[in-house]
Structures are given as structure tokens and as C-alpha cells.
Structure 1
Amino acid sequence: MFGRILLISAFIVGSVTSDTLLEEYEENVGYTIEGKVYPPSTMTYQWPRNSVVVINGGEYKGFLKEDGSFIVSNVPSGSFVLEVLNTDYIYEPVRVEINPKGKFRARKVNYIIPSQVIQVPYPLKLKALSKFRYFQQREQWKITDFLFNPMVIIMVLPLLLMLILPKMMNDPETKKEMEQLNLNKMTSDMPEISEMITSFFNPASASSKTEKSKTSGKTNKKRN
């Protein structure tokens, strides 16, 4: 009887320990994320060596094979951000979600709108977006930069006016307009001859006229 109890208890302890060991093994072993990184158009033989696949900023790492495929092992269930680090090219990061049952789902990383889900196929297929620019490209010389330079404009505009104005003055219509303007100015500035003569021979009457005109102007202002 006592032996049976020992056997049953040993069996129970063994089953519990085996379950815990299996859980620990699954947690330690984890899952495997796989995919392929496509090289850029100008691929070199050192391209796989210069590329590393990292998860969550380096928590898990994977290296590329010669054909661009990769495997990252011992990844537990959860949500992870996978990135391809290359010295010359930029790759779009991907979020990989692994549920406890071992199902994979991959989607684009969107830090601005996290709720927006754009799924991508799994196993992953990653392509280069653009090339890194470590140095600012030097600006090329353009003729517009020279023409729109303020110093050039200040120097060129007077020359253009000197060339264009004489041609405009030779035009008969513009000549007539200018003469009319000058005549109007002269007539408005010159006083009447009768007033000049009366003021010369009779200054008192001229002063009275001017006073009358001033008083009439004041009365008109008051009325207004």
C-alpha cells in the first residue's frame, strides 16, 4: 500500500516537472523569424557582410546568407520590430507579432498612426528604400543665380533704362503726350497776365482781392 502511494506521488511529481520543463524549454527555445532581404540594384560581394537583421534594437540578431535569406531563432511570443541595418542602404522596419500558439503576423511600422494596420507577407520580403546620404550634395552653378543676384540687377537696370528711354522718346505718340504734360504744368504754374498787370499798377486792389479770396475760402470752409 505504501509503495503504491509512493508510485502515484512520484508519477504526479514527474508529470508536473515534465510540464514545467516543457514550458521552460518552449520559453527558452522560442520561435524562429525568417525572411529574405533583397539586395539593391548595385549589389557588391560584400553586401551580405555589411547587413545585420536586428529585433528590438539589438535584443535579437540574425545574419544574412549569400542569397539574402535570414533566420532569427529563440524569439518568444510577443510583438517585435525587425530592422535591417546596412551601411549604405535604408530598409523599412517591420513589426512581427507572434501569438502564444505560434502564429505569425507581419505589418508595417507606423509611429504616427499606430492603430493603422498594413499587413505584409510572411516570411518577410524586405527591399531597399533608398541610399544613405552621409554628405550634403554640393550645389551646381546655375545662370539664374547670376541673373537674380541683387548686385547684377542694380547694375543692369540703369543700363536698360538708358537704352529703352531714348527709343520711347523717339516715338511720336509719346512725344505728344510729354509735350501736353509740360504745357499743362506751365499753364497751371504761370499766373494770368491781367492779374499781373493790375497788381503792378494798383497794388492795393490786388491785396484786397487776395484778402477777399482768403475770406471767401474761409467762409466756404466754415459752411462745409
Structure 2
Amino acid sequence: MLLLLVAAFLQQLVTSDCTSIEGVVVPPLNASPDWVIHTRVRVDGQKYIGFVKTDGSFVVSDVPSGSYLVEITNPVYLFQTNVVKSVPYPLRITSVGKAAFFQVRL
């Protein structure tokens, strides 16, 4: 019983300084319906990873307080990169367009 109480107390200490980063990803108007499946939220590279829900919202939990670089990655669409210092929540991140992998030949 004492071991469980100590473990619960330590868990509370570890997670008490953590927070969540919440936001909404806005895809282009003509985005395919499965864009969410291939989209990831990366905080400080790949230190913390989040997934986008079907409504475009996301939550990255258990992130220690501080400043972070938040990136939305998708193989087809490009999204603006955000530096999170102290901004209103939830974040709203809009697509900047479709990714261009090839140059158009003339």
C-alpha cells in the first residue's frame, strides 16, 4: 500500500510541471478527406508527437513548460511553422499550399 502511495506521489511530481499544446490545423479547401491520416504534429523536432483528429484539432500532452517549435508535417501539404512562447490557445495553423516535389517542365 505504501509503495502505491509513493508511486502515485512521484507521478504527480513528475507531471505537475507539464502542460499540453492544443490547436487546430486548417487544411486547404480542396484537401482530400484522408489528409488527417497522414498529418503529424511535431514539437521540437520529434521530442513530442501529436496526431490530428478528424475535425483538425490536436493535443500534444505532457510537454514541460517552455518555448517550442511546433511543426505540422504532411507528405502532400505544407503548413506554417510556429514558435510557441506565450500565445493564446488553441493554436490555429493554416496550410500554406500544396507541396511541390517536382519542377514543371516547359
Counting only pairs closer than 5 Å after superposition, residues 107-122 of structure 1 correspond to structure 2 as 121-122=88-89
- Choose the corresponding residue for 1:132, options 84, 89, 99: 99
Aligned match for 2:72, one of 66, 80, 84: 84
Higher helix share: 1
Among the aligned pairs, what percent are the same residue?
Answer: 38
Structure 2 distance, partners of 1:128, 1:77, is 26
The residue identity in structure 2 corresponding to 1:83 is: E
- For residue 23 of structure 1, give the secondary structure of its aligned residue in structure 2: helix
Q: Which residue of 2 aligns with 1:218?
A: none
Number of matched residues? 98
- Offset of 1:32 from its aligned partner? 0.8
- Relative distance call for 1:25 and 1:127 in structure 2 (3 A) is closer
**2:100 match: secondary structure:** coil
Task: Give the C-alpha shift of residue 65 in structure 1.
Answer: 0.5
Across the aligned residues of Structure 1 and Structure 2, the Cα RMSD in angstroms comes to 1.7
SS of structure 2 residue aligned to 1:127: strand
TM-superposed deviation, 1:23? 3.1
Once the two structures are superposed, residues 180-202 of structure 1 have per-residue CA deviations (whole angstroms, 9 ceiling, x without a partner) of xxxxxxxxxxxxxxxxxxxxxxx
Greater per-residue strand proportion? 2
For 1:21-60, what aligned pairs fall within 5 Å after superposition?
21=10, 22-27=12-17, 30-60=18-48
- Aligned residue for 1:66, secondary structure, equals coil
Cα offset for 1:50? 1.1
The Cα offsets for residues 134-161 of structure 1, whole Å up to 9 and x where unpaired, read as: 111011xxxxxxxxxxxxxxxxxxxxxx
**Counterpart AA for 2:30:** T
CA deviations over 1:172-224 (Å, ceiling 9, x no partner)? xxxxxxxxxxxxxxxxxxxxxxxxxxxxxxxxxxxxxxxxxxxxxxxxxxxxx
Task: Find the aligned partners of 1:24 and 1:64 in 2 and give their Cα distance.
Answer: 26
Separation in structure 2 between the aligned mates of residue 71 and residue 24 of structure 1, nearest angstrom? 19
- 3-state SS, counterpart of residue 43 of structure 1: coil
Letter of the structure 2 residue corresponding to residue 95 of structure 1: V
Higher relative contact order (CA 8 A, sep 6+): 2
1:30-49 per-residue CA deviation (whole Å, 9 max, x = no partner) reads: 11110100111112121100
Unpaired runs of 5+ residues, structure 2, are 1-5
Partner Cα separation in structure 2 for residue 136 and residue 46 of structure 1: 25
Which of 109, 120, 123 is 2:90 aligned to?
123
Deviation at 1:26, TM superposition (A): 1.2
TM-score in terms of structure 2 length: 0.84
Confirm or deny: 8 A CA contact 2:15 2:62 kept in the other structure: no
